[in-house]
């Protein structure tokens, strides 16, 4: 869609570059942002390991275990005044170790699992949640719709 200007900053920890491609991550992220009507936005994506995400989960969510995806929003807390029209959304952090296990358990390709986790993380940055059944249903519907268009 014309008019969308997104800065997507991607970091893939070694040795995970052989499992996921930055171009694929960027394509999925752009599709999610455009599907949600986000005009200009900056988004960070980190592909890392279980140890790193475990540390972050313990430090910021009081969960002493690894998880599949964490979202750190810049839209929460004290308002950040952007010097331009770009909205700084935050960062989505995905554990490729956990994504691999989940993909194997679900019998689906790793790329599909990582795409799902990325869209899930982005939707969290945009305000979606799944604490209540209705919220979970709405979030899953958006995930499915976005992934169907990727």
Q: Tell me the per-residue pLDDT of 35-76, one tens digit each, with 9 for 90 and over.
A: 999 988 999 999 999 999 999 999 999 999 999 999 999 876
pTM equals: 0.92
DSSP alpha helix (H) spans, the chain:
22-35, 50-61, 96-106, 110-125, 133-148
Residue 135 in domain = yes
pLDDT of residue 77: 54
Look up the CATH number of the domain holding residue 123.
3.40.390.30
DSSP structural state of residue 45: E
Please count the structural domains in the chain.
1
50 in a domain, yes or no? yes
93: phi then psi, degrees, rounded to nearest 5: -120, 125
CA 18 to chain centre: 19
- DSSP secondary-structure letter at 80? P
Predicted pLDDT at 84: 63
- Is 1 within a domain? no
Is-contact 89 126, C-beta < 8 A?
A: yes
Closest CA to 30 of 13, 7, 14: 7
What range defines the domain where residue 131 resides? Answer: 6-148
């Amino acid at each position: 869609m014309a008019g969308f200007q997104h800065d997507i900053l991607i970091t893939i920890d070694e040795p995970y570059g052989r499992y996921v491609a930055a171009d694929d991550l960027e394509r999925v992220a752009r599709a999610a942002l455009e599907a949600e009507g986000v005009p200009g936005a900056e988004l960070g994506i980190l592909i890392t390991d279980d140890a790193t995400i475990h540390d972050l989960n313990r430090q910021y969510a009081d969960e002493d275990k690894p998880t599949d995806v964490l979202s750190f929003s810049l839209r929460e807390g004290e308002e950040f005044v952007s010097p331009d029209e770009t909205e700084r959304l935050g960062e989505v952090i995905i554990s490729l170790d956990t994504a691999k296990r989940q993909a194997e358990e679900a019998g689906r390709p790793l790329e599909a699992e990582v795409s799902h986790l990325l869209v899930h993380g982005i939707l969290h940055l945009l305000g979606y949640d799944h604490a209540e059944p209705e919220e979970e249903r709405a979030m899953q519907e958006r995930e499915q719709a976005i992934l169907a268009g990727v």
